[in-house]
A and B are shown apart, each in its own frame.
Chain A
Amino acid sequence: MGIVFVLLPLSLLLALCGLIAYFWCVSNGQMDDPDGDSRRLLLDD
C-alpha cells in the first residue's frame, strides 16, 4: 500500500503539468478564436 504514496504525488504532478499546459495555451491566445480555429481545420494548408 505504500506505493500509493509514490503514485499519488506522481499522478498529481502529471495533472499539474496538464494544468500548466492549459494555462499556457489560454495565456498564449490559443483559446481566443474557437470559431475560426474549428473552420481552419477544413483548410488544406
Chain B
Amino acid sequence: MPATSFHQAHGDDLVSVTGKEQKRCRHCGLTSDSEFCCEGCRTVYETLHELGLQEFYRWRDSEANVAQPAANPAFSDLDRFSILQPSHDGDLATFTFEISGIHCAGCLWILDRLSRVQHGVVRTALNASTGELTVWFRHSEVSLTAIARLLSRLGYPPREAQPSDKNKASRLPLLRIGVAGFAAMNTMMLAVSLFQGLYTGIEDDVARVFRWVSLLLSTPAVLWAGLPLYRQALRALTVGRIHIELPLTVAIFSAYILSGVNTFLDRPFVYFDSVCLLIFLLLISRSVQEYAMTKARRASRLGWSVLPATAHLRRGSEIVTVRLEELTAGDTVVIAPGDRIPIDGVIVEGETAVDRSILSGEPHPIEMSVDDFVEAGSLNLTSQVVICVRAVGEDTRIGKILTDMRKRGLEKGALARFTDLVGRWYLAGLGLATIITASLHHETLAECIESILTLYVVTCPCALAFSLPTIYGLMIGRAASRGILIKSAAVIERLASIRKLYLDKTGTLTTGVYQVKKERWFFGCGDIFRSTLAQLTSAQPRHPVSAALRRQLDLPTVDASSCRVVAGKGVEFTDDAGDIWRVGAPKWAGSVEFQSEKKTDSTVVFARNSDILAQITLGDALRDTTPGALARLKELGCAFHLLSGDQESTVRAIARSLDLDEVSALGDLTPNQKAEVVTQAPYVTAFVGDGVNDVLALKAAHVGIAIAGGLEATAEAADIVITKGSLEQVEATVRAARRARRIAVGSLAISLCYNVAAASVAVSGMMNPLIAAFLMPTSSLLVMVLALTVNPFSGRSFSAREQ
C-alpha cells in the first residue's frame, strides 16, 4: 500500500501510541481506524483515481521525491546544547515554535492533532493568526529535536518564537475599540431621540437625562479609548511637528467639552455620538492597517540563522562539536560534504567544490583547494576539508551584510505626509474660521458656542485621518492573500511612483537553478544507463549538476557507496565486469574537450571506459514568465537595468534576448557596486532580487522587492516579498499600488472639498446643528465605504491574467 511505503521511508518518528501496528489512511498516511481518516482524504483519493492521476502516490512515495528531513543544523543540536530552553514541570515540558506554511483548515487539523502522530506529545495549541504553535511534551519520551524535525517534514518549518509581550498589549486595542463602539452605538441611540425631539417635541426632563447619560457614556471613550491618538499627537508636538492626529484631538476635545458645557447649561445641542463614532472609526482604521502590516512583516521575518549553530572543531587528534560562539580565529574546523560553512577562513587541508550562490547569487560550483579563502554561508559540495578560522559570526562577510540591513524605522509616505501638512493648515484655518464665526454670531454666548460647535463638528478631518490607513491596510491584506507581502503603507506610495526597475539576473529573471538545457544520447538512454547514472548522481545529490540530472531524468536515490568522487572532475564507479563508468568533466570522463556555447553553461559527459554515452549541457534558464512580465511593465512606463554578479557578456546576452537595451545591462558587480548603482539613480527606483548578494541593493533602493525562494535574509531586507510567482507578481503589485494611490487621492480630494464647503456654510450661519450632526458621520462613512469596497487588485487586467 502506498501509505505504508510512505511511512516506511519516514516511519522513524511515527510511532504508534498503542505500540500495535495501526491502520493508516490511504491518502495522507496518518493513523486511522479505517481505510481513510476523514471524508476529505477519501474524496481526494477517489478523485485522483477517477481522473487517472493515481500516479501521484507513486511519485509521493518515491524516495527521490519525498521531502527529506530538514538539514537545518539547529535542529540536530536543539537538545544537546539546550540552545532552546523548554520550560519544565516535572517530565512535562512546553515550548513555543513559530511555524510557517499554514494555509488551510487541513493544516490546522493536523497541527491540532500532533499528539496522535508523535508519541510523547501530550497536546498542542496553534494560533494560526500569529503562527505560534505551543507544544506540551514528555521530555523523557520525545526530544525537541524530533518534534522540530516532524514539523519540518510535515511541511511546517519551525523556528523559535520571538519573545512575545504576549497578548496583553495586543488585546488592548481590541478593548479600546469595544469601549468606543459601545459608547458610539448607545449615544447614537440617544442622539436620534434628542434630535427627533427638536422637531416633534420632547419633555425637558427626558432630554436632560438623555444628555447626561450621553455624557457619561462618551467619557470613557474620549478619556481612555482615544488615548493612542492623543499620545501620537503629543509625541509629534514635542519634537516640533504637527501630524493629522493633532487637529483630530482638537476636534474631539472641542466637541466633547462644548457638548459637556451645553449639558451642564441645559442647552439642547450635544454631539457626543459624533465624537464617539469618530474615535471608533479611527481606531478601527488604524487596527486594520496595523494588523495587515504585522502579518506581512511576521511572514517575512528572518528565521533561523543562515549559518549553522555548531561546528566540528579539531583539537589535536579529536574532533568535538562546539557552539559557533566558542570558535576563535586560528581554530581549525572540519567541514563535511553537504554542510554549510559556518565561518570565514582558509582551507588548510583537502580540495572541494563550493556553492557560493548565497553570496554571489550564481549557482556554479567553484573549485577550492589549500590556501583558498572560503566564506561563511557557502555550501561544501564534494569533499571534506579542514578550514582555519579567520572570522566568526557578525565578523564574517555574511554576518556584516545581515547586521547592516537590520535597521529600519517607521516611515510615512508622501500622501501621509501631505495629510499631516493638511492637518497643520487645518488647525490654522480652523482657528481663523472660529474667529470669523464668533465675530459673526456673537449676540448671545449660547449662539456663539453653538455656531462654533457646529463648525467644529461639520469640518472634522476624520476622513482625512482614516481613509489612508484603511485603503492601504486593506491593500496590504489583499496583497498578502496573493502571496505578496508588503511591509508598510509608505512602500505602496513609493511603488506607485517608480519609473525605473533594477533587476537582478539569477533567480529573478532566470530560475537560479541549474537545469539540463541539451541532452545528446549516442546510444539511447536505456535502463542500464539510467540505473548507473542514478548510482553516480546519488553519490553527490546536492551538487547542482547531480541535482539537475536527477530532476531531468527522474532518477531515484540508490546506494552509492561503491562510487568514488574525484574532486573537481566528477564521480566514477567500477562495476563487477571491470567497466569504469564516469559522469563529469568531458576531458576526465571521456578524454575529449567540449566547449559550451555560453560561458555560464557547463557540459558534462557520461562515459563507460572513456567511451562517451551522452553529452549533457546544463545552465541557468530564463523563467517562462519573464518576457511577458517585462512587456507589461514596459506598458506601465517602467524602464529596466540589469545588475548581476555574472559576467557582463552573459548579462548583455540576456538583455539582448529580452529585447532590452544592452547599455543598461551591467555585470561583474559586487554587492556593494550593485547598491552604489541603485543609490546614484536620480529618480524613484525599485530593485528586484533574491540572494544575500542583493541585500544591500534592496536596502539602497526606494523599494526593495525580494523574490522568495531565495534567502530569508533578502526577505528581511526587502520592503516587499513575493512568495508566489516572480516578475509577473511585481507587475501586478505596481499596477495595484498605482490604483490604490488613485483611490487614496480621490478620498482625500472628496474630504478636502467637503470640509471647505461645509466650513463655508457653517461660518455663514446657515448650518443647522442637526444637519451638522448628520453630515459629519455621513462623510466619514462615505470615505470608509469607498476605501472598503474598491479593490486595487481588481479589474480586467488582473482577472484576465489570472484566468
Pick the residue among A8, A26, A27, A42 that contacts B209 (CB under 8 A).
A8
Interface 9-mer from B17-25, B124-132, B242-250, B772-780: B124-132
A39 near B209: Cβ-Cβ < 8 Å: no
Q: Label chain A's interface by main secondary structure.
A: helix
Residues in B with CB closer than 8 Å to A18 are 182
Chain A residue with Cβ nearest B186: A15
Choose one: B38, B104, B174, B175; the contact of A44 (CB below 8 Å).
Answer: B38
Chain B positions within 8 Å of A42 at CB level: 105
User: Quick one: given A29-B167, A31-B171, A35-B128, are A40 and B108 in contact (CB under 8 Å)?
Assistant: yes
B162-192 to A contact mask, C-beta < 8 Å, 1/0: 0000010011001100110010011001000
A-side contacts of B217, CB under 8 Å: 12
Q: Does B576 touch A at the CB level, under 8 Å?
A: no
Interface size class of B (residues with CB under 8 A): 20 to 34
For A13-36 the 0/1 string (1 means CB < 8 A from B) is 001001100110011010111111
- Taking a contact as CB atoms under 8 Å apart, the answer to whether B186 and A39 are in contact is no
Q: Which residues of A contact B203 (CB under 8 A)?
A: 1
Cβ of B427 under 8 Å from chain A: no
Which one of A4, A12, A39 lies within 8 Å of B105 (CB-CB)? A39
Contact (Cβ within 8 A) B182 A15: yes
Instruction: List residues of chain A with CB within 8 A of the CB of B38.
Output: 44
The answer to whether B206 and A43 have CB atoms under 8 Å apart is: no
Interface check B522, CB cutoff 8 A = no
CA distance A32 to B127 in the complex (A): 7
State how many angstroms separate the Cβ of B286 from the closest Cβ of chain A: 17
A33: B residues at CB distance < 8 A: 126-130
Asked if A43 and B108 make an inter-chain contact with CB atoms under 8 angstroms apart, the answer reads yes
Q: Quick check: is B109 within 8 A (CB to CB) of the other chain?
A: yes
When distances are taken between beta carbons in the complex, the residues of chain B under 8 Å from A29 are 167
Q: Tell me if B213 and A8 are in contact (CB < 8 A).
A: yes
Given contacts A4-B206, A23-B175, A26-B178, contact A36 B128 (CB under 8 A): yes
Known: A8-B209, A44-B38. Is A32-B167 also a contact (CB below 8 A)? yes
Is there an interface contact between A39 and B129, defined as CB atoms closer than 8 Å?
Answer: no
Give complex CA distance A5, B208 in Å.
Answer: 12
- Inter-chain contacts of B209 with A (CB < 8 A): 4-5, 8
Q: A31–B174 contact, CB under 8 A?
A: yes
Do A39 and B128 have beta carbons less than 8 Å apart?
yes
A26 and B127 contacting across the interface, CB-CB below 8 Å:
no
In the docked arrangement, what's the CA distance between A43 and B213, Å? 45
CA distance A18 to B182 in the complex (A): 9
- How many residue pairs link A and B with beta carbons under 8 A? The number is 63
Tell whether, in the assembled complex, residue A39 and residue B167 are in contact, meaning their CB atoms are under 8 Å apart.
no
The answer on a CB contact under 8 Å between B171 and A27 is yes
A44 to B130 CA separation, bound complex (whole angstroms) = 23
Q: Are B213 and A12 touching (Cβ within 8 A)?
A: yes
- With a CB–CB cut-off of 8 A, which chain A residues contact B213? 8, 12
Chain A: minimal CB distance from B296 (Å) = 14
Most B-side CB within 10 Å, residue of A23, A27, A35, A36: A36
In the bound complex, CA of A44 to CA of B106 (Å): 11
Cα–Cα distance between A4 and B364 once the two chains are bound (Å): 83
Q: Tell me, in angstroms, the Cα distance from A34 to B203 when the chains sit together.
A: 46
Q: Chain A residues near B185 (CB, 8 Å)?
A: 15
A44 to chain B, nearest CB (A): 7
Residue of A nearest to B185 (CB): A15
Min CB distance, A11 to chain B, in Å? Answer: 8
Q: With A and B bound together, what is the CA distance between A40 and B179 in angstroms?
A: 28
Residues of B within 8 A of A4 (CB): 206, 209
- A5: chain B residues at CB < 8 Å are 206, 209
Distance to closest chain A CB from B619 (angstroms):
42
Contacts of B178 in A (CB 8 A): 19, 22-23, 26
Smallest CB separation, A28 vs chain B (Å): 10
Q: Which residues of the other chain, B, contact A27 by a CB distance below 8 angstroms?
A: 171
- CA gap between A12 and B183 in the complex, in Å: 11
Interface centre among B105, B126, B179 (most CB of A within 10 A): B105
Give the complex CA separation of A39 and B108 in angstroms.
8
* Complex-state Cα separation, A27 to B167, whole angstroms: 9
**Nearest B-chain residue to A15, judged by Cβ:** B186
Q: From residue B215, how far is it (CB to closest CB) to chain A in Å?
A: 13
Whole-angstrom distance between the Cβ of B360 and the nearest chain A Cβ: 38
Bitwise interface map of B from 534 to 575 toward A, beta carbon under 8 Å scored 1, else 0: 000000000000000000000000000000000000000000
Interchain CB contact (< 8 A) of A35 among B112, B129, B175 = B129
Q: Which of B608-645 contact A (CB under 8 A)?
A: none
> Are A40 and B174 in contact (CB-based, < 8 A)?
no
Contacts of B174 in A (CB 8 A): 26, 31
Contact: A43 with B167, CB < 8 Å?
no
CB neighbours of A1 from chain B (8 A): 203, 206
Contact at B175–A39, with CB atoms within 8 Å?
A: no
Q: Are the CB atoms of A26 and B171 closer together than 8 Å?
A: yes
Instruction: Across the interface, name the chain A residue whose C-beta is closest to B172.
Output: A26
Contacts of B104 in A (CB 8 A): 39
**Residue of A whose beta carbon sits closest to that of B190:** A8
Cross-chain contact A12 with B186 (CB below 8 angstroms)? yes
User: Considering the chains assembled together, what is the distance between the CA atoms of A27 and B166 in angstroms?
Assistant: 12
A19:B182 contact, CB within 8 angstroms: yes
How far, in whole Å, are A26 and B169 apart by their CA atoms in the complex? 12
B175: chain A residues at CB < 8 Å are: 23, 26
Q: Mark B204-239, 1 if CB is under 8 A from A, else 0.
A: 001001100100010000000000000000000000
The 6 A-B pairs at the shortest CB distance, nearest first, are namely A36-B128, A39-B105, A42-B105, A35-B129, A35-B128, A33-B127
A selection of 26 A-B contacts at a CB cut-off of 8 Å is A1-B203, A1-B206, A4-B209, A12-B186, A12-B213, A12-B217, A15-B185, A15-B186, A19-B182, A22-B178, A23-B178, A26-B171, A26-B174, A26-B175, A27-B171, A32-B130, A32-B171, A33-B127, A35-B129, A36-B126, A36-B127, A36-B128, A36-B129, A39-B108, A39-B128, A40-B112
Known: A1-B206, A23-B175. 16 other contacts (CB 8 A): A1-B203, A5-B209, A8-B213, A12-B213, A15-B185, A19-B179, A26-B175, A26-B178, A32-B129, A32-B171, A33-B128, A33-B130, A35-B129, A36-B108, A36-B128, A40-B108
B interface residues (Cβ-Cβ under 8 A, vs A):
38, 104-105, 108-109, 112, 126-130, 167, 170-171, 174-175, 178-179, 182, 185-186, 189, 203, 206, 209-210, 213, 217
